[in-house]
Amino acid sequence: MIDARLQPIQRAALRPPAQMLAARGISADTISIAGFAMGLLAVGALALGWFGVALLLIAANRIMDGLDGAVARIHGPTDRGAFLDIALDFVFYALVPLGFAIHDPAANALPAAVLIAAFVGTGSSFLAFAAIAAKRGRTAADFPAKGLYYLGGLTEGFETIVLFLAMCLFPASFPTLAWIFAAACGVTTILRWHSGWTAFR
């Protein structure tokens, strides 16, 4: 919901470390893969109930997700990099609820499953719109540097990360947080369906 407004702040903060990494020849794709590895470790930490460790790993994953784009803008963005970034992001988003479900199946499995299904709705509507928008040559004015058309919504990247961090800080509240955010994702999905239905007449 506020990703576009946070972009200038994020870019300014990440520019110095991105320049340092780029000067050392580290590619954006390498950062994307390393960030995803951090995300996988976070899932293991969640499953073991190490919520503080999981929080740090999730934060590291998100920082690296921003760094890969910053480095890509220095070296020059590529279609492969854009594909890798979004593909790994969506898997990461689904794996975090899975970690909570593994930790406490009795309390968390059903809300985790509903949240993952809601993520499928937001992710599929996002990618479907992006694919048709690319075919029609449309660009997103709010996200000119993105590798594909970025359709906003009620639940975007910032809100999702705030959710994950809140879940790590208050793990007993995971079911409540998951149900609430799944509902918000449902609203986002419906709004994106409406956007696609009207934009692609």
Q: CA–CA separation, 173 vs 143, rounded Å?
A: 33
For the chain, state the CA radius of gyration. 17
Cα-based angle 187, 177, 165 (whole degrees, multiple of 5): 110
Confidence grade of residue 139 (pLDDT, cut at 50, 70, 90): low
Residue 1 has pLDDT above 70, yes or no: no
Closest CA to 2 of 168, 192, 162: 162
Give dist(CA 37, CA 27) in Å, integer. Answer: 16
pLDDT digits (tens, 9 = 90+) for 28-45: 999 999 999 999 999 999
Tell me whether residue 65 is exposed, middle or buried, using C-beta atoms within 10 angstroms of its C-beta: 0 to 12, 13 to 18, 19 or more: buried
Q: What is the pLDDT of residues 183-199, one digit of tens each?
A: 999 999 999 999 889 98
pTM of the model: 0.87
Task: Please provide the average confidence, as pLDDT, over all residues in the chain.
Answer: 89
Locus of tokens 């996200």: 143
Domain 3-199: give its CATH code. Answer: 1.20.120.1760
Q: What is the pLDDT of residue 4?
A: 63
Tell me which DSSP letter residue 141 carries.
T
Highest mean pLDDT among 8-17, 131-140, 148-157, 160-169: 160-169
Tokens of 68: 């890969």
pLDDT in tens, 155-169: 888 899 999 999 999
